Amino acid sequence: MRGFANTLQVGEQTAVQSMTANGDPHALVQALAQTELAVETAVTVRNKVVEAYQEILRMPI
């Protein structure tokens, strides 16, 4: 989870630097790609947790 938050922070900092003309466009693209991958991974993990929870609810007692 810390890695996820760190990736988002780095992406945000790189975007701010690029908007102020002090950043490298290549670094911005790379940071955005890493952020996108982190978000997609978090969403996939969340979906798996929800599916597992729903499967547990369907189990007979």
Domain ranges for the chain, please list them.
2-58
Let me know: does 6 contact 29? Beta carbons within 8 Å. Answer: no
50 falls in which pLDDT band (50, 70, 90)? very high
Radius of gyration of the chain (CA): 17
At residue 24, does pLDDT exceed 80? no
At residue 47, does pLDDT exceed 80? yes
At residue 41, does pLDDT exceed 80? yes
* Percent of the chain surpassing pLDDT 90: 28
pLDDT of residue 31: 82
Mean predicted confidence (pLDDT) in 32-59 = 92
* 49, two tokens: 């947790």
